[in-house]
Amino acid sequence: MKASNVLDESYIKQQAQIASMLYHHHLQNNGGDLLLQLDRSVSTKNPPPSSSSKKLPRRSRSVSSSTPLSSMHLPNLQDAARNDGKEKKQHFVLVHGGGFGAWCWYKIIALLKEANCEVDAIDLTGSGANFCDITSIKTIAQYAKPLIDFLANLADDKEVILVGHDVGGVCMSYAMEMNPSKVSRAVFVAATMLSNGHSALDVFSKQASLTELNQCAQKFIYGNGKKQLPTAMEYDKSLLEDFLFNQTPSKDVALASVSMRAVPFAPVTEKLCLSAEKYGSIPRFYVKTDYDFAIPEPLQEAMIQSDPPKQVFQLKGADHSPFFSKPQALLRLLLEISNTPQVKQGKET
């Protein structure tokens, strides 16, 4: 990162701590106001050398570091999500991707609350503020346990909209199979969307679309010795901006650089068992990101073709982290999905 973009590390750590505190205390009223105090700047990033053939779009407008989310123009969002007292609030549950935590959704949390929606962000096991020995995570069930527990504790008549990113899509799919009655819709945002009997590793290992950057940006951790299988993966921080955040504001890149953690490897290798009666009964939606170097568009398209969702959306100009790079556009899609009647298990929701 250029010297002009280098931020005071203590400031960034303070922002991460504030975000984590907000999520885990589940602030309902004042939480939105505090979240809006997390400011950010915007800068246009250049594509990595290995992807120089794809020109990244220039931004049409810039947002200064002093511009709060609440003052950004959000056309028709209040109308789209207005609660007239006769309809229940839409409840979104956000599932982060590998290496991230609930903190990465702070913009979307604030915007959804402004749109009069309920929202919770989950820290998967060993992620965000959920601390454990990452070598102990051997299964998807262990990795997704916080999400499974959250759904299990919902009221019997309560349904939520799951939104998953990256390998969070695997955990989300597992949760859909385990608790189908608690999920009204599932939105895969640049996420791993698997077919029955496949693992995330299966999908990634068969794709020629993965670039040299993709291979260099991820490093294996051998917690049990190099003669054993890897126990985790971590990102090369020198490549984070090019790999995950090529369209992301500089302050969000800095926040991520001090907040991201290793990803347990075992869940990536586990094959999912997904049934038509449970997982298949829930309407699925896929949000594609066209400037994504972590899960390139051809790989996203391959997953879509393998097990087509109800509807596919395109977030133009989005990198792998649209909750940072295109929060307003992502919000609009989430609200559109939430307000479209869908048939689930023989009834309209």
Active-site annotation, residues:
166, 292, 320
| Phi, psi (rounded to 5 degrees) for 165 | -125, 140
Helix intervals (H) in the chain: 9-24, 31-35, 77-80, 106-114, 140-143, 145-152, 168-178, 200-205, 212-217, 240-244, 250-259, 266-269, 297-306, 322-325, 327-338
| Phi, psi (rounded to 5 degrees) for 347 | -140, 160
What the block records as the tokens of 224 is 């049990």
The Cα diameter of the chain in Å comes to 61
Distance CA 41, CA 66 (A): 8
Question: Which residue has tokens 């949760």?
Answer: 175
Distance CA 71, CA 209 (A): 39
